[in-house]
Structures are given as C-alpha cells and as structure tokens.
A and B are shown apart, each in its own frame.
Chain A
Amino acid sequence: MSVETDRSIAPEIRRITDLTIPTPAPIDNLHGAPVFVVENDSEELVKIEFVFPAGTGEETKALLATATSSMLKEGAGEFSSTEISEIKEYYGAKIQLGVGKDLASVSLICLPANLKNLVPLLAKIIQEPNFPEKEFTGYKRRTRARLKVNLEKVEIRCRLAFSRAFFGANKYAERYDPEAFDQLMRKDLVDFHRANYALSDASVFVSGNGTKEALEFLKLHVQPDEGRVNLSAIGDFSPSRITQFQRKEGALQSAIRMGMPAPSRQHKDYPAFYLTNTILGGYFGSRLMQNIREDKGYTYGIGSGINQLKDLSFLLISTQVGAKHTHATLSEIRYEIDRLRTELVLYDELDLVKNYTAGSLLRSFDGTFNQASLLKTMHIHRLSESYYREFLTKIYAVEPADILRIATTYFDPDKFTVAIVGEGFSDNE
C-alpha cells in the first residue's frame, strides 16, 4: 500500500486511434436477401435478424405497419397464436418484432441447440402469417386500451404534436390515431405484408454462436417468394415554424421537443455537425444538460440527438421540465444555440467531446450482437467499409472555427419546429 499517491494530478489520458470493426460484406444469399454473419463461439446464444423495408413510412393507413408486425406472431402456417408463443417460450427463445420509420425487423434469439425447432417457426412467421380474424380482434382491443393510456402522457402527446408540425403530411409523419386504428381490416395487413416483406428487399444478420448451423436451417426452411410490389416516396416536406402548444390540465411538467433538418451521414459537414450536436446536448456534460439540469435544476434530463432516416435526417432536442420553468427553459435553449453561433468553442471542451465520441464508437462496436447491429446500419445506410475509421479521423481534425461555421449555417433558432405540451406557458418562476 503506497500512501504517497499524489491525488492532485490527474492520470494521463490516452487517445483512442484504432477501432476493431467487422467487415460489412454479405457472405451468403437467401433467395435474394444478402446474409451477414458475425460468428463468436464464446457466446452462448445465436441471433437471426430479418430486416424489411416495412416501417411506418410505408403505411397507407395509420398504424398499419405496427399492426402487421405485431400480428406476425398471431398465427402462421400450421401454427396457431398460442402454439407460436408456447413453442417459443418452451425453448426459452426470444422472437422480437420491431418497427421503425424505415424498417421493420423480425429476430430470433436462442440457444444454438434449439435452432432446429425454432427456425421453421421463424420462417412461417415471416413468410406465411395468417392474420386470423379472431386474434386480430383481440389485438385491436388490447392495443386500443394501450393507445388511450399513452395519449395521457405529455411525452407521447408532445411527440405527436412535434411530428405533425415537423413532418407535415410526408411519409415520416406519425399516425397515432385510435379511430383510424379501428378502421384497419385484415385485408390491409395481408396486402401490406405482401408488398413489404419480400426477400428481395430484405437483409439477414446472423450473429453469435452457431451461425453456420443457423444458415443451414434458414436455407432449409425459408422459401423463395414472388418479390415486392411497390414503394412509396417521402412526399412533401415543409416543417411548420409555428410553435405547437397543447394544453394538458394539471400537468406538473411540460414536455418540449424542438427539431430541425440535419445533414446525412454521407454529407461532408456531418462529422463537424455531429460534434456540434454533442457539445449542445449529446452527452451528460453537454451545455444543455449542464445549464438546464446541473445549474438550474429545471429538469431531470435534457438532450439532443441526430436521427438518421433513410431519406431524411433531423436533429431533435427533447426534455420534460417543471411546469413553471417552461418559458425559462426555452430561453436557455435559445441562449445555448446563440452561444454556439457567436462564440468559438475552446479546445478544452472540443477535445473532451472528441475523446468522448471515440469512446462511444468503441462501445458501440463492443460485443457480437452490437457488431451485427453495426453491420446492419452500415448496410442499410450504404456506408463503406472504411466509413467509421474515416469518421474518427475527421472528428479529430475538426477545429473550433468549423463548429462556429456549422452552428451559423444550420442552427438557426427561428428555423426549429417546436412542440410543447403542458399546463401553461407563463413567465412566472
């Protein structure tokens, strides 16, 4: 034990320069769908993920993409809804269904020994869902109840108000309407599935222990299909600049969302834009968090992030604040944006954010399932094999003047779409 440790000097910090990244190349093909593999036999589990361009952006009716996805497990091929959940749970497996704006995914996680019992089920779920009327009625009944609870949350209401104001009528707008949900028919689901769950548009990601075996079972049980029917485009996009305020009686906190368009990952400004966002609200030490939470205590948390959709990127600031701090929070957000536009960031802060970003990248590449998920992102967004290495190099090259230029070019407080849901909107402290 050495008692003479000098605690007043911080240990030296080393920069991360090397990233271990899996190669984003498909190693096989399943009736038109590229197959990507991250094998690691030190894992106990294997994961198979199918990704389809069947997100909410492809919907022709409200909540259609979500309903189609949720109903996949409610009867497929010769399996009933109960049989599907019983077999899945009997083998201790997870079958996860996810729906985003662009994509829908169906994944299976299980012990490799159980693949032979579960892959046939997965294939039926993806390719031969029956959408039985009885289960669909039950699903609608349960979902309607959940929608109603969600619509009581300021956070969800604000999300919808923001979406309406920002996306307008384009394909990325959220349609979260219990009445429209009631209008959904079984036939809508059948058509949506036929149009959007084709292998020719799908990608398959297999990761963990037993990927070779998984691939063999997939080839055995997944059948060729007839291909996709059609694709809708993004449509009009003219975000509203008028602040959307929705009153919710008795709300102790107000939810706030502010957003604006952002450059895509391929854009030359993206690395500097990424750092600018991080400085503003992208981590715990960010200016918004330090000012509004750590200095003023108006909120439990505030953050800003960049959302990358296939055909649109946008930056989003969101928080829930004590009702009486609503106005003050908006002023502070504006103050922090103005500060970015008028003052050069100091090297001290910029270097910290660069190192933090490198550490975050390292974390997002750690572990087999994370690597498979990264491959998915690289494939869907058509990023090159060297993308992340080059991104890190560009991040390290960003100067304070670049941040200032990005802030003045993109961060105009008057060009944000703003939505607020809460009881009031007064100046009182």
Chain B
Amino acid sequence: MIEFEKFVLGNGLTLLVHRDENTPLVSVNTLYKVGARDESPDKTGFAHLFEHLMFSGSKHVPDFDTPLQRAGGQNNAFTNNDFTNYYVTLPKENLDTALWLESDRMLELGFSTEALEVQRKVVIEEFRQRYLNQPFGDLWLTLRPMAYQQHPYQWATIGKSIAHIEDATMDDVKQFYNKYYAPSNAILAIAGNVDPQDILERVNKWYGAVPAGNGLARQYPIESFSESNKSETLERDVPQKALHMAWLMSDRLDEEYYKFDLLSDVLGNGKSSRLYQKLVIEKELFTQLSAFITGSIDRGLFMVSGMLSEKVSHDEAREAILLEIALLANEPPSERELTKVKNMVLTQKALSEAGTLSKAMNLSYYEMLGDANEINNFQNQYLRVTAKNVQAMAKKLTERGINELRYERRNG
C-alpha cells in the first residue's frame, strides 16, 4: 500500500507526496501531459526534441544539470506518445535545489538558439543509433503508419523522419512551451522521508508564482476498428527473418485493457506461455516469440513478435500463430494458466514499486490516467478477469484486421 497526500495549487499544479522513512533520498517526478500524439503530422518528433531543450537552461539557471549534480543529484527524462516525464533523485537535504530547478524551467525556458542547434544534432544521432543503425531498428517507423490511419499514434516518438527534426524552428519551440508546459498541465510527485505539509509549503514557495497558463481542450481522433488485413515486407540486411503482427485493441481506461493484457501473457509472456512452448520449443518454427500490448492511453496495439527459424516461411509462421489464437477463441485458458498470469502481474507490481523514484513515477502516471489511488487498486482489475473474458478477447482478435510486418533477408 502506497500512502500519499494530494494537493492542488492555486495555479492548477497537482502535487502528490509519499512519505518513506527508510531512505536518505528524495525523488521529484514531474509529468507533463503532452506527448507525440499532440504533434501536428508535418512536425513530428517535436515533443521529444523539446524534452532535450528542457535541460539547456531556464530563466534564472543557465544549465539544469550542473547545480543538480553539485547537489549530489541525478536526473533524466523520457517522452512517449502520451506524456513527457522528468525525474530527479537526490539526497533529501538538497530537495530545494531540485524544486528550484524544476520550478524555474516551468516558469520560463531559456530558448537558446545554440542549444537548439546542438540538441537537433544529438537527436539526429539518437535517431540513427536507435532506429536506423540497428538490425530491425525501423520496425515501429513502419508498423505505426500501417496500424493507425486516423490517430497520431501513426508516428513514433522520435518522429517520422530526420527531416522533421532538421526543420524545427525556435518559433515552434516557444509555441509548444507556452501551450503545454504550464502548471495546470503538470503533475508533481515527491517521495522520500518528507513531511507532506512541509513539502506543500516548499512547493508553494517555488511554484506558487508560476502562471497557470491557458486551459487545454484536446480531442484526439478515435482510431476505428477494421476487418481488413494489411501486410508489408521489408527487405533488409538482417541475418534472420522476422514477423510482427499487430491488432488494434482497447484504450487504457477500458476494462478490456486488463483482459487483453492477460491474454497477451497467456499467449506469449514467458517460457511456459503457449506460443513459446508450442512454436519455439515443440515445432521449432521460431527462435524467439512473444506477445505483449503497447499500453498507450488511446487505443493501443496487441502485438505478437517473433524471429523465424531458418527455412520457415512467413506464411507458415503466421498460420501457426493464428491457430494458437483460434484455439483460445474456441476454449478458455485453464484456471492454472489464469492464476499463473495473475501471479506474474502481482510480482511485477511489487518489483516496479521498489525505491522512491518508481513510487513517484507511478503516482504521477496513475494521476494522469485520472486517479493516483489506482496505484493501490489496479491489481484488482486484473484479479477480476475470468477465463471466459480472456477467451472473448481472443475471439475479438480473430474478427479484427491484422497489420503484419515481415522482415525478409536481402540476400536469401
């Protein structure tokens, strides 16, 4: 049970405080409700490029990292399609340093032209290192636009192409900041051996005067379900054939989310899962095979991803996967299988809550979804799922269109 107190400042900033008496550290997590889904289709990769610029100085601080490191702190950030998350862990004696730095970049960013030029290059190198210079690195760059026609999930967080990063201007940066980086669009979570009332005072001192910003009314297109299949083949210099299958599934707050998640575990999470036992161990069609969900806020993807054994064709591999899904659509998983995947969820929950940083991060995440209390309740959503529910989701997969991406070896 993670206990916490919630406050909302006059300017709309949400504050969550968790007290943990067993640590000399404190973690400060700041979540801004903006991600790649908020970008316009001709300026993608921007939320992520912007995240880099948040470290290049603010109104009263020339550089974010130096004072923080001097205070014994460590920090980083990540951007995904839904939100942008900044985090700091430091000795609790120096908490004010973190609040000073975080509040200052919420108040007003430095907007340095040199910083934009350098970070543009850094992000282009990141693009190359993670997406272009890796075998199979272009998977999501190709699969997203296949699976999404209406919704902005059709591009990856890094952006559609390097050209979009090259074209970003300082005007874009300012507009983006003014629109999204306001207290009313942020959640601040602090975890450590701290007193919530004392934290509230400190946060009021540092953040109280940051202007609230204009309210945001956002609506995202809803990706509609389709029955038609799509398939694309990429010929690449890869040593092995690969097959990725994606189905559109529910959004994060739909109760189907938990059912699909458990279906993916029964099918393909762990060595005792069905796909692994039947298709990797028994039939040796694949050398690696797993099923998982993308977990996004709006309608996500149910994925089955595998690396094919030599001489196995994509068609044969695909049919074998579809057969396993059809089996589950006809007959529910056994009680033992269902208990197994629920137990895996419980262990994963306990593991992901270790340390102040993950607590602060999880609190912010569930608050963004609607209610930080869910951090203590979400396991019940999983425990309620029945074998018949899992079967029903498998049935849905058999009725929905498949987006299929095949990697073929260029020379054989």
* Interface assignment of B235: CB less than 8 Å from any CB of chain A: no
From known contacts A356-B70, A366-B355, infer whether A86 and B132 are also in contact, taking CB-CB under 8 Å: no
Q: CB-CB < 8 A to A299: which residues of B? A: 122, 125, 129
Known: A2-B208, A145-B309, A293-B122. A356 touches B281 (CB 8 A): no
B72 and A297 contacting across the interface, CB-CB below 8 Å:
no
Instruction: Report the bound CA distance from A91 to B344 in whole Å.
Output: 7
Closest CB in chain A relative to B7 CB, distance in Å: 13
**Which residue of B133, B208, B350 is within 8 Å of A252 (Cβ)?**
B133
Assembled-state Cα–Cα distance A154/B91 (Å): 38
Are A2 and B67 in touch, CB under 8 angstroms? no
Give the distance to chain B from A25, nearest Cβ to Cβ, in Å: 21
Chain A residues, Cβ within 8 Å of B344: 89, 92
Any chain B CB within 8 A of the CB of A82?
yes
A11 and B118 alpha carbons, distance in the complex (Å)? 29
Min C-beta distance of A14 to chain B, whole Å: 4
Interface residues of A in 1-15 (CB under 8 A from B): 1-3, 5, 7-8, 10-11, 13-14
Give the tally of cross-chain contacts (CB within 8 A). 213
Contact with B along A205-238 (1 / 0, CB 8 A): 0000000000000000000000000000000000
With both chains docked as a complex, state the minimum distance between the C-beta of A203 and any C-beta of chain B, in angstroms. 22
- Residue contact B347 to A45, C-beta cutoff 8 Å: yes
- Is A267 part of the contact surface with B, judged by Cβ < 8 Å? no
Whole-angstrom CA separation of A142 from B257 in the bound complex: 32
Is A427 part of the binding interface, using a Cβ–Cβ cutoff of 8 Å? no
Contact mask for chain B residues 133-164; partner A; CB cutoff 8 A; 1 contact, 0 none: 11110000000000000000000000000000
What is the chain A residue whose CB lies nearest that of B104? A7
Partner of A250, one of B22, B124, B237, B284: B237
Residue on B with the closest CB to A11?
B96
Contacts of A10 in B (CB 8 A): 61, 67, 97, 100
Interface-lining segment among A60-68, A309-317, A357-365, A406-414: A357-365
Q: B71, A355: Cβ atoms under 8 Å? A: yes
- How many interface residues does chain B have, given as a range? 35 or more
Q: A1-B209, A2-B205, A10-B100 are in contact. Are A295 and B118 (CB under 8 A)?
A: yes
Residues of A within 8 A of B216 (CB): none
Establish whether residues A358 and B23, one from each chain, have CB atoms under 8 Å apart when the complex forms: no
Stretch at the interface among B78-86, B244-252, B335-343, B370-378: B335-343
Chain B residue contacts of A359, Cβ below 8 A: 69, 71-74, 90-91
Contact of B24 among A1, A45, A81, A362 (CB under 8 A): A362
Q: Is the CB of A296 within 8 A of B118?
A: yes
Query: Does any Cβ of B come within 8 Å of A176's Cβ?
Result: no
**Residues in chain B near residue A252, CB distance under 8 A:** 128, 132-133
**What A residues does B355 contact at CB under 8 A?**
366-367
A296 to B117, CA, bound (A): 9
Q: How far is the CB of A82 from chain B (nearest CB, A)?
A: 6
* A1 CB contacts on chain B under 8 angstroms: 9-10, 204, 208-209
> How many angstroms between the C-alpha atoms of A187 and B239 in the bound complex?
30
Known A85-B270, A92-B344, A362-B91: A284·B71 in contact at CB below 8 Å: no
Return the contact of B117 from the options A20, A154, A297, A300 (Cβ within 8 A). Answer: A297
Is the beta-carbon distance between B24 and A20 smaller than 8 angstroms? yes
Interface residue count for A (Cβ, 8 Å)?
A: 73
Within 8 A of A (CB), among B59-106: 59-61, 65-67, 69-74, 89-91, 93-94, 96-97, 100, 104
Q: Are A111 and B346 in contact (CB under 8 A)?
A: yes
Residues of A within 8 A of B117 (CB): 297
Shortest Cβ distance from B58 into A: residue: A7
Does any Cβ of B come within 8 Å of A303's Cβ? Answer: no
A145 touches B91 (CB 8 A): no
Q: Nearest Cβ in chain B — how far from A400, in angstroms?
A: 17
Tell me if A369 counts as interface (CB < 8 A to partner B). Answer: yes
Which B residues are in CB contact (< 8 Å) with A190?
none
Q: A147 → chain B, closest Cβ, in Å?
A: 9
Determine how close the nearest CB of chain A comes to the CB of B202; give it in whole angstroms: 10
Query: Cβ of A5 and Cβ of B205 under 8 Å apart?
Result: yes
CB distance from A267 to the nearest CB of B (A): 25
B386 within 8 A of A: no
Q: Does A93 contact B (CB under 8 A)?
A: yes
Q: In the docked arrangement, what's the CA distance between A11 and B237, Å?
A: 54
Q: How far is the CA of A297 from the CA of B114 in the complex (A)?
A: 11
- Asked whether any CB of chain A lies closer than 8 Å to the CB of B362, the reply is no
Chain B residue at minimal CB-CB distance from A19 = B24
Could you say which residues of chain B place their CB within 8 Å of the CB of A355?
69-72
User: 5 closest A-B pairs (Cβ-Cβ)?
Assistant: A359-B72, A297-B121, A92-B343, A1-B208, A148-B239
- Since A3-B209, A109-B347, A110-B347 are in contact, a sample of 12 more A-B pairs with Cβ atoms closer than 8 Å, ordered by chain A residue number, is A2-B205, A7-B60, A13-B67, A85-B270, A86-B340, A89-B343, A141-B309, A146-B307, A149-B238, A296-B118, A355-B71, A359-B90
A-B contact pairs, 14 of them (CB 8 A): A2-B208, A13-B67, A13-B70, A14-B91, A16-B72, A85-B270, A89-B272, A110-B347, A153-B135, A252-B133, A297-B119, A322-B124, A356-B69, A362-B91
Give B residues with C-beta under 8 Å from A: 9-10, 22-25, 59-61, 65-67, 69-74, 89-91, 93-94, 96-97, 100, 104, 107, 117-126, 128-130, 132-136, 204-206, 208-209, 237-240, 270-272, 277, 280-281, 284, 287-288, 307, 309-310, 336, 339-340, 342-347, 350-351, 353-356
